[in-house]
A and B are shown apart, each in its own frame.
Chain A
């Protein structure tokens, strides 16, 4: 990912939209965008989409993170805004209550391969995939991988010696903005895309020595 965690830097008093956004960050899970100076974008959005299948109009309401990150250069956001996004994201993370990080890599591979889920064309009750291969290289044998995210091939080997690697990876899958404000990767745990059990299986794909990612 291109976005880097911002350094400390002094708190920046910023322009009005960011101030509004900061208020929104202090509020609930979602917030309506302040549309002043947007040339009627709110009305345009309200009149341009219709609910279909499982995709209802509530999906167009932005979370504070989505609102803040809706810019051409999120890496240029003020350091305090990025810090806030990371802190809020970290607070969303739920760790496995039994402390078990890894499920089955075989199931994880299926989840990584599947792009089904949450489109209005998808059956609402079908098992959801994570579509990991859409953006990442994972196993050494699957050649149809995307390049929006970094390669995760040999993930276990890359993280040897890092006692905290599993916890950190769990956080990245649950809500990657905890490390990487305005990352392009979906919040698979926080947004409810994958279940905690599915995330365990994806974790196994990344960490199990027998997984095709590490063989």
Chain B
């Protein structure tokens, strides 16, 4: 809630007081708001911004919609996703997000949450993989895609869970190794790698703070906060969207949705983020 808009909407008990002593209430509420705003101005603007919006994260709408889609029989096969195995067993959501990407024996591949959800929508519900992969993310101003709200819902079921992206299977170790190599790979007309911007502490592009994704602390913050409601986009955005938009700014060609490179970069970040805490969907600039 912005400072200029005055006090927060009153809760029940407070409202009773306001009804009985409206002037006194208004005065004290304004004073409280002024104090809060003074505190707000003193602190780091970004964290304050997040704090002001945290209670009203619009991502919660996506989470609610995702829950409906998860439970509702849908698609040509008229089936619910409740049989979908995200790595912890069919239908088990608690902590599943915090342990992805991982190796899945049924596909013989390492999958992140987005590619695994597509897999479930195709195999369980009968949706078309090419159609899902062609438009995984909503365009600006368009409603969220089914995939985006499902990712938001699944992530929310891991809120507070410790990040433990597994490295037991050789395929998982290969994915990490490739992701790490990709992270440092310089290419394109600007010679940029991921590490160009995300390779040291405390750097900025313009005023935008950059996470150091070569260290656990930065990786935990990044991995633990995606998906996120991105205010500048007015939508919930997923990790694959985030990676893809970095790659665009790197002046590289387009990162294909569900591609091995996208999964490998997620594996690299997730493994580095091990021991961190999931707190997604979060709120981002």
Q: B253 contacts A184, CB within 8 Å?
A: no
Q: Which residues of B260-274 have CB atoms within 8 Å of chain A's CB atoms? A: 260-262, 264
Q: Which candidate, B19-27, B86-94, B188-196, is the interface stretch facing chain A? A: B188-196
Chain B contact residues, majority secondary structure: mixed
Task: Place the interface of chain B in its size category.
Answer: 35 or more
Name which residue of chain A comes closest to B170, CB basis. Answer: A39
**Please, which residues of chain B bring their CB within 8 A of the CB of A57?**
253
Q: A39 contacts B205, CB within 8 Å?
A: no
**Contact status of A186 and B259, CB under 8 A, knowing A51-B253, A60-B252:** no
A45 to B185, CA, bound (A): 11
Q: B255 contacts A48, CB within 8 Å?
A: yes
Name which residue of chain B comes closest to A71, CB basis. Answer: B184
Query: B232 contacts the other chain (Cβ, under 8 Å)?
Result: no
Q: B190 contacts A44, CB within 8 Å?
A: no
Query: A20 contacts the other chain (Cβ, under 8 Å)?
Result: no
CB distance from A90 to the nearest CB of B (A): 16
Q: A118 contacts B189, CB within 8 Å?
A: yes
Q: A144 contacts B190, CB within 8 Å?
A: no
Contact with A along B235-265 (1 / 0, CB 8 A): 0000000000001110111111001111010
A120 to B137, CA, bound (A): 17
Q: Which candidate, A6-14, A61-69, A92-100, A161-169, is the interface stretch facing chain B? A: A61-69
Q: B178 contacts A187, CB within 8 Å?
A: no
* 8 Å CB contact of A148 from B191, B197, B255: B197
Q: B259 contacts A49, CB within 8 Å?
A: yes
CB distance from A49 to the nearest CB of B (A): 4
Q: B191 contacts A66, CB within 8 Å?
A: yes
Query: B72 contacts the other chain (Cβ, under 8 Å)?
Result: no
* 8 Å CB contact of B191 from A65, A144, A147: A65
Query: B13 contacts the other chain (Cβ, under 8 Å)?
Result: no
Contact with B along A127-156 (1 / 0, CB 8 A): 000000111000000011111100000000
Query: B177 contacts the other chain (Cβ, under 8 Å)?
Result: yes
**Please, which residues of chain A bring their CB within 8 A of the CB of B192?**
186
**Please, which residues of chain A bring their CB within 8 A of the CB of B188?**
55, 59-60, 118
CB<8 Å pairs between A and B, sample of 6: A39-B174, A50-B254, A144-B206, A146-B208, A147-B204, A148-B196
Q: A62-B187, A118-B190, A186-B189 are in contact. List 9 more A-B contacts (CB 8 A).
A: A40-B178, A48-B261, A49-B259, A70-B184, A119-B251, A121-B248, A134-B206, A143-B207, A191-B191
